[in-house]
Structures are given as C-alpha cells and as structure tokens.
Amino acid sequence: MPRSGQIVQLTVLALLGLGTVVVYSAGMTVGSGRSGLAGLMQHRHGVYAILAVVAMLFTSRVNVRQFLKTRRVVNPLSGLVVLALALVALALVPGMGRSVNGASRWLYLGPKSWGLSFQPSEVVKWVMVLAIACWCTRRRGVMHRITDGLLPPLILLAVACGLIVLEDLGTAALIGLVGVCTLIAGGARLRHLAMACPAAVAMVVWAIARNPYRVQRLTAFLNPWADPLGSGYHPIQSMVTIAQGGLTGRGLGNGIQKFGYLPEDTTDFIFAIICEELGTAGAVLVIGLYLILLWVGLSIIRDCKDTFGRLLGLGVLLTVGLQALINLAVVTVVVPTKGIALPLLSAGGTGWILTAAALGLVASLDQSEDARDEPTPTFPTQPTRRWLGRWSGRWTGRWTGRWAGIPWRLPAKPTTISLRTD
Amino acid sequence: MHDDAPQPHLRLVTEKDLVTEAPPQSCDDSPVPRGVVLRPGNTEDGARRVLWVGSGLIGLISLLMVALLGRVILLQTQPSTPIASRIGSQHGTRPILARRGNLLDRRGRVLATSRVVKRLFADPGLIEEPGTFVERVGHELDYDPAWLARKIDRRPHSRYVALDTRLSDDRIERVKHFRLRGLGTQDHAVRDYPQGSLAGQLIGFVGADGLGLEGLERVYDRDLIGRDGELRYLRDSGRRVLWVEQSAYATPSDGDAIRLSIDATLQHFAETELAAACNEFDAESGQMVMIDPQTGQVLAMANHPVFDPNLFRDSNAALRRNRCVTDTFEPGSTLKPMVWAAATQAGTAGIDEVIDCTESGFFVTEGGRRLRDAHGLGKLTWAGVLARSSNIGMAIIGQRMGAARLHQTVRAFGLGTTTASGLPGEVAGTVHPLHKWNHYSVTSVPMGQEVAVTPLQLAVAFGVIANGGELIRPSVIAAPATPYSPVLGRVLTEQTAELTKRVLRTAVSDPHGTGRRANSPLYEIFGKTGTAQVANPDGGGYLEDQYISSFVAGAPLERPAVVVVCVIHRPDKSIGHYGGAVAAPAVRRVIEKSLVYLGVPTLAAPDAIPAGSLVARE
C-alpha cells in the first residue's frame, strides 16, 4: 500500500497525463504545419507537464515548516506576497501584460516574440494560502480576535482580491473563498467574517456591473437560448459538447466540437472535450481523480499533527477542489461562465506547474517527520514597555521579543504538579 | 493518588501550560481551575478545528462534484431537445450521384446515357462586389462579363444562379484553381441521347431533376433510376471539410440498363424512309411501326416529324407524342384482311365465290347506303375482293356476317383494347360497342370505317395473319424481366392465315393489285393498302381531300420476319393520296433493307439486286 503522499503524487501524475493528452487532442487543428519557434510552441504542453512533475517532486521533498520557523528576512513569505501582488499590478499596466479576450491577466516571460507568458494571479493564489496558513498558526492563540487576529490577513486578502478582480472575477472569488475558509479553519470566528460579508458582496456586485461582458454572461447563463449565436453560444456549445459524447464517448481524439465549435476548448472548457471524447467514463475518471486527491489529502491532514501543516494542506486542497468544482459547474452550465481553469487539466503552464508544486507540498506533509506543534509562542497581553503606548507590546514585541526568536522569558524550571483533569 | 506514579487519567502539566494572566476571552470552557488556561495549541484544539472544518468543506465539495457528475450523465443520456437537435449538426452531407441506367437497342447500342457534369453557379448573396465579380469570373473562365452580369441581375435576391449548366473540361480545370466568394460548382447528372432524334418520341426524355418525363424514360423510371449514395463529412466551424465519415458512407447504386427491342439500324431505315415519303408527298405527319410478328418485339417505331430528346426544352408537346400508340386513325382498307380472313374461316364466303362489285363502282346497300369503289371492278372472286380492295364486295360480305360476328371479329384482332405494350399514353382506339352500331355499321366496319386504331394495333392485327393466326402482345423490351409468352390467343387457324397471306401476296404481286408498288424483286412481300378520309373532328362526315394513306405489309411470305405499318397523314392530293402510291413504296424499301440487314435470304442472287435500292434516298 503506497503512502498517502505517494497516492497524491500519482493522482497528480494521472491528471497531468490525462490533461496533456486531452489538451493535445483538443488543440488539434487542420493544416497548421507551422515551423520554427511557433512549431515548437505546439509541443509546449508536454514540456509544461514535465516541468510540473519536476516541481512536484521538488516540493514534495521540501520541509514546509521552514516557512514557519524562519523569521525576518530569511523568511521569503512576506517578500513573496509583495512580489506576487506587484506582478498582478504590473499585468494591469497597459502595454505590460498580454491580453486574451480583453482581459490582461498575463505577463510576458522574456521577449514577446517567444510567446511565453504567465498568470501572476496563479502565483497570488498559492502565496495567499501559504501566508494565511502561516499567520493562523503563529497567531492561533488570538485568531478569535479581530484586530490582531483576523483583520491583518483579511486586509491582505481584500487587497489581493481587489487587484485581481479588476481583470479576473473568477480567480478573485476563488482566492477569497479559499482564504475565508482557511481563516475559519485557522480559528477565526464566523460572526467576525460575517461582518466582512457585505463588503465582499458589494465588491462582487461592483465587479460584475463594471464589465458589461459579465452582465452578458449572467444573462446568457439565465437563458442561453435567447441569443444562441451570440452570448448564449458558449454555454450551448458546452452542453452540446458534453451531450455529444453520450455514455460511450466518441473516442479519444475523435471529438468534433474542438474544430472551432467550442471556444476555449483546450483551457477552461477542456472538461467538455473530455466528456465528448471519453463519454461518461471520462467524466467519472476526472471527478474520481479529484475526489481521490481531496480525500487522500484529507487523510494526510489528519495524520499531520501540526496546525501549520494542516492549514497549508487544507488551503491547497480547498483551492484545487473549489477551482475544480467551479470549473465543472461552469462547463455544465450550472453557474455563469467564468475564466477558471480545471486544475491540472486545462492547458496552462503556470497553472500546471504551480498546482503540481502545491500538491507536492501536501505530499511533503506526509513524508516529513511527525511534527507536533511547538508550544505556542504567545506574547503577553499586558505590555511590559508602556512607553510606546498600547502599540508597544504588539509591534515592538513582534520584532524584538520572542516573536523574533528571542525567548521572551527564560524558560523556567518545570515544576511538576499533578492535576486532576477529570 | 498517594504514590508518585502518574495516574492514567492524570497528565503532566508543565509550567508552560500555566499562564497566570487572564484567559484571552477564549471560548475554551474546559473544566480547569480559574487562572489556568490550557492553550489551544498544546491541547491540539487548533489542529483539530482545521481537521473538522476541512472535513466538512471537502465533504461538501465532494457532494457537489458528484452532483455535477450526475448533471453530466443526465446531459449525456437525456439531452434536452434543443441540445439534442444540435448533436451531429457539425456534419454535412453530399449526395454521390447514381448513374441513371442506359437505354440500349437490342444489339446493345446506346440510345440514352447519363453522365455527370459540373454546373457553375453564383450565390448573389455572397458576392461582395458584383462589378469585380463578373469581371474576374469572365476573365478567369472566359465568359462575357456583361452576359454574366445580366444573368445575375435577373435574380439578384436568389441564392443560386446557374451560370453554366455544363462546364467544359477546360473550364473545370481552371475553376479548380480559382476561388472566389459567391462562386461555386455543383455536380449534376445530364442525360445524353447519342443517336439524336432516333426514336426520340419512343425514348422520351428526362427532366432536370433526373426523373423521366415522357416515353420509355418515364415508363421504366423506377428501373433506370439508381439509388444515390451519400457522403457524410465533418466540417469545422468555418464550414471547411475536415474528413469523410467512413461509417456513414452510402455507396451509390447505379440504375439498371434497359435493352429495348428496337434495333437502331432498323429504326434508322424506318425513319429515313418515312421522312422521305412524307417529304415527297408533302404530308403533315407519318408513323411507321415494324414488329416481329412471331415474338411481338417492336423493331422500329418511327414518327415524322422527328423529335430530338437532347433538345426537349425547345420542342412542343405535340411533337413529343409517340403517335404510333397515342393517336388513332380510321384504318380504311387496311382492316379488310382481318374481316376477310374471319369471314373466310367462318365460311361466310368461299374463296372462289364470285361477288358482283358492279361495273359502275356504285352500289346501294339494303339499308340505302351508297358505296363507291375507286374503279368499277365488276365481278370478283372473294379473293379478288381483297386483292383489289373492293369496298362493295366487303360490304356485301359484311352484311352477310352480321353485326355481332363482325364486332367479335374486330375485337378478336385486338382492336378496341390497348396492346399492353406498356408504352406511355397508349390508347385503346375506338370500336363502338355493339349496341351503338347502326345499320350502316355492318357495311362501314368491313372497309375500315367507324373504327379507329393506332398504328401499333394495326401492326399487331396484321401480325395475326403473318404469324399463322395468333394474336401477340407487342413489347419494346428485348428481354422482359419475367419470361412470358407473347401469344395472347389464337384468332385464325393456320390454314386461314396462310390463305389470307397468299391472297395478300397477290395484292402486291398482281400488276393490278393495289399494293403493286410494294412488289420487290428481293422478297415476297404481302400487304394491304389503305386510303381513308380524315374524319371531321367537328363531328359527322369526312373532310374533303384530306386522306390518310397507309400500307401494312409483311415479308417474307414463308415465315414472315417483319410486319411493317406505314401511315401517312394528309399527303398532298395533287401528288398522290392512295396508300398504294404514298405508303407502299416506302414500306417496300424499308422491308428490303431490313431483311437484308437481318440476313434473310433474298429471292434473287445478290448481284441481281438493283443498284441503289438499298441506299436510303436522300
């Protein structure tokens, strides 16, 4: 019986393999015998898949708790957060990013002629998971409080979502949702988060109303047949593609809808192509692989004793699971169209590599030694140095006190007392 | 409790567990003494919360995913109607034209055949710039741009304007490499009649939709039409053809070829001689039918004026009629042999009985009808009555036979019913029912009045005499699908038929016989002339100076191979109008040429054949 971490890695491998095959199948075009760099670019998916596997193998050997243990400049987390947000902001600058379908979500990697680009929001997605897991673990004693527990990560989340929502409502919603769930798991009070709810709803409504195409997507979702060749075209074609496969499917590579009928066939709507070519078996396979990923991941979390590991694992699993769920719901026209990829299946180098790497981290939780929580480093609620006012304890203590690695108080000699606990 | 050994329900509390400060509003309400806070981390509360929240969320996600899987299965097994209607809509189909079967003559020569040609068409709805369109098409494919523009302008809102219905090979080659929006080619089958107007009315023609509209093309449409195949191909969203679906390929099956009993050569002989006769006598029209009296096979069926099925669009409907079966005429004297034979067989008149046909040529019947012969013939034997074609003699015997027997005789020879040849538009002719006969009828019918026949009916009736007494069913198909006996019944005894044949031979061989102009040095021809007046279409009586000259003959005398009927309508009386003068020479020439062609031994040695007699008159 392979270990849970190995099962997770094998599942990722299976999804990536299926993804590569289906992406090549869906990307099939007639008479595109291109040469040179453009021709090489046709084979990039295989390279991405290999890179994704390498990334997963690498991260599965990383000790994630280093993020928790290292502090100050050595800890790359705060830097990563800043960098990721900066990249998102950079993609928004006209002329810097690559626009696809009117959304500038991509940043060029190298000269534009290479055609290499990546999605900074993908990076943000994972960095946020890491950051929130880290914060909740360090502050798990005070997560039930607003000001010093919940508010800082919530603000960070709001900033990240606010930057991303300008171009990509789907990813922003996903990041927000995962963030909030992780915060709840990390100890935040539901009623505190409920207070932030109106703000989040307002943000979503504003984002929808701001872009006319989002309103169009909404109406197209509500009644695709009103305009079957215009706004309703995409949902209709998606349903037709799924229905066309029937129970048995048309056979791998034999799909028809990929020949220009179904837009975004290699990316967001790859699941429809899988359903068309592999039939119900394909749908069962994909959803089954995700369920394996989720439940085996959960068993890793269960066996993992420390809060940070659990939170990080849960964040990653929630991201993958929710993203898959939203994508499947979009493709089956249960929710309005959003630009959300199917993790590990939809074509996209950034997505494949980072998702595989993140799931590699989950696998690493299983491989690493059982790490129990260190005793919680708390800081006194009674500030000792009053000269900085009420902030002194919180902020100076953070950098100078035990938080920065210096023991706040010398460990006292353990006094042994027996206590009846029942 | 009393010793130092830790109890199982007790646990070691280190100093770290004990915090003296007030609890930070923790929700922990574990039963610990006030002032002692159990930190969540140490009791693994935080980690447990992560697990519980995570299990709940992942369980929820899993449930929703399974629900979506259900939605997928629902879509795949029971798609809603608008979606189901779109499944497979990415396909296009293209028919593979099946070849219509050929029509062949009895020797396999092609009378009608099909081929696929390309049609050039324009879709004005797709033409971006009409001016440059016609300019470019005209330049590339060598058409007159102005002519193209006119064609397109005539129907500017149509989606299909045929520019050229039969693209030449040269243009097909050029159009292959010439793509222009709004211009397209389409395959379609066309029918060719390589023999031109030969047997045009008999063959008929095929309409633009590939269905036979007239003639044999229409009668045998079901056999001739093939089953079109179908090509199912996949298109991408840009309507480009990707590939052909192997599984949905329906092979076309070509139509069956039909071999007719017509012999193109004999048909040609008949047509040329008929045309020659019609032209010589300035006749309005003419028909000639040649059948094999033994089998009923129609060897030739000629109409004049001719009709070319290749040009059916420019012809009028009257011309397209196969008047050998669709139109009737009063046979006149050509009916006399049948009545004569019946009367002879019945013993109504003996062959050597002398009948007074009057010297004056005038005779008033008992009913008070005035009859007239062409010449005063005096006393004739019963055989002579037929050979000299005496109306008076036939009328006398007709009266003797009585109406019932006469009527039965005429019907027995197949008159008044169709010949069941299966030719389209065939009519039954007219034989009035007995109760409509008046006292004139017994004198009129024996000389071929009051009845109307088609040329084919006459040929079949004459065939009874030629083949030894059997009524046969004519056929235009060389090899009928189900073998059947052409014999419908016996009308005359062989002796009577033989006798009649020999008497008819004298009508041709006798220098005074009416058919003397049909006498041939090559073959023993027996036959009967007929000169009928044209019945007034407005009712009663006959038109002045309007005649139908006919001649019906068989040859050779022993075992006749052919029976030929020639009917010429309204010859110019100033040139000639007697059947013996107008139709008989044409029949003779046709019989001579046909029998030579068929390899029937001639009477004289070949070098005795008069020069030029076998050459068609131009």
Residues of B in contact with A247 (CB under 8 A): 73, 76-77
Residues of B in contact with A136 (CB under 8 A): 46
Asked if B298 and B291 count as a contact pair (C-beta separation under 8 A), the reply is: yes
Q: Is the Cα dihedral A274, A279, A280, A285 positive or negative?
A: negative
* Structural domain spans, chain A: 4-381, 386-416
List, by residue range, all CATH 3.90.1310.10 domains of chain B: 92-152+160-259
Give pLDDT, residue B551. 93
Give pLDDT, residue B14. 53
CB neighbours of residue A389 within 10 Å: 9
Q: Can you give the pLDDT of all 422 residues of chain A as single tens digits?
A: 678 888 999 999 999 999 999 988 888 765 555 555 656 666 788 899 999 999 999 988 888 777 777 666 667 788 888 888 888 888 887 767 766 666 667 777 766 666 677 788 888 999 999 999 888 888 877 887 888 788 889 999 999 998 888 888 888 989 999 999 999 888 888 888 888 888 888 888 888 888 777 777 777 777 888 777 777 888 888 999 999 888 888 888 888 888 888 888 888 899 999 999 999 999 999 999 999 999 999 999 888 878 888 899 999 999 999 999 999 999 999 888 888 889 999 888 888 999 999 999 999 888 655 555 555 544 444 444 444 444 444 444 444 444 444 444 444 555 555 555 54
Contact call for B75 and A239, based on CB within 8 A: yes
Asked if B34 and B21 count as a contact pair (C-beta separation under 8 A), the reply is: no
Distances (CA, A) of B230 to A242, B115, B250: 28, 18, 5
Find tokens 């023999």 and name the residue. Answer: B195
Bridging pattern class, strands B470-472 and A97-100: unpaired
List, by residue range, all CATH 3.40.710.10 domains of chain B: 264-608
ipTM: 0.85
Task: Name which of A62, A19, A53, A9 is nearest A296 in CA terms.
Answer: A9
Give pLDDT, residue B26. 40
The conformation of residue B227, written as its DSSP 8-state character, comes to B
Shortest Cα distance from A163 to chain B (angstroms)?
26
Give pLDDT, residue A228. 78
Contact call for B11 and A142, based on CB within 8 A: no
Strand partners, B190: B115
Residue in chain A lying closest to B51 (CA): A302
Contact call for B49 and A245, based on CB within 8 A: no
Residues of B in contact with A283 (CB under 8 A): 69, 72-73, 76
Could you give the angle at the alpha carbon of A194 between the alpha carbons of A190 and A200, nearest 5°? Answer: 130
Give pLDDT, residue A72. 61
Q: Indicate the residue type of A239.
A: M
Shortest Cα distance from A245 to chain B (angstroms)?
7
Contact call for B83 and A142, based on CB within 8 A: no
Asked if B226 and B101 count as a contact pair (C-beta separation under 8 A), the reply is: yes
- Per DSSP, the three-state class of A43 is coil
B185 — alpha (psi -120 to 50), left (phi > 0) or beta? beta
Task: Name which of B89, B234, B70 is nearest A253 in CA terms.
Answer: B234
DSSP string computed for B463-520: HHHHTTSEEE--BSBSS-SS----EEEE-S-HHHHHHHHHHHHHHHHSTTSTTGGG--
Distances (CA, A) of A417 to A409, A420, B29, B228, B348: 21, 10, 21, 100, 156
Residue A143 phi, psi (nearest 5): -65, -20
Instruction: Give chain B's residues under pLDDT 50.
Output: 1-8, 10, 18-43, 615-618
Contact call for B73 and A280, based on CB within 8 A: yes
Distance CA A224, CA A274 (A): 22
Out of B32, B72, B238, the one facing A260 most closely (by C-beta) is B238
Determine which of A229, A332, A340, A402 to mutate to test the interface with B (most B C-beta atoms within 10 Å).
A332
Q: Give the gyration radius of chain B's Cα atoms.
A: 45
Distance CA B120, CA B160 (A): 10
Contact call for A298 and B87, based on CB within 8 A: no
Residue in chain B lying closest to A296 (CA): B58
The CATH architecture that domain B92-152+160-259 belongs to is: Alpha-Beta Complex (3.90)
Shortest Cα distance from B94 to chain A (angstroms)?
18
> Does the domain at residues B264-608 carry the CATH identifier 3.40.190.10?
no
Q: What is the pLDDT of residues B8-35, one digit of tens each?
A: 454 555 555 544 444 444 444 434 334 3
Contact call for A144 and B237, based on CB within 8 A: no
Residue in chain A lying closest to B233 (CA): A256
Shortest Cα distance from A412 to chain B (angstroms)?
7
Out of A240, A287, A305, the one facing B86 most closely (by C-beta) is A240
Shortest Cα distance from B66 to chain A (angstroms)?
8
Residue in chain B lying closest to A380 (CA): B21
Residue in chain B lying closest to A272 (CA): B72
Asked if B142 and B293 count as a contact pair (C-beta separation under 8 A), the reply is: no
Residues of A in contact with B69 (CB under 8 A): 283-284, 287
Residues of B in contact with A273 (CB under 8 A): none
Distance CA A152, CA A186 (A): 14
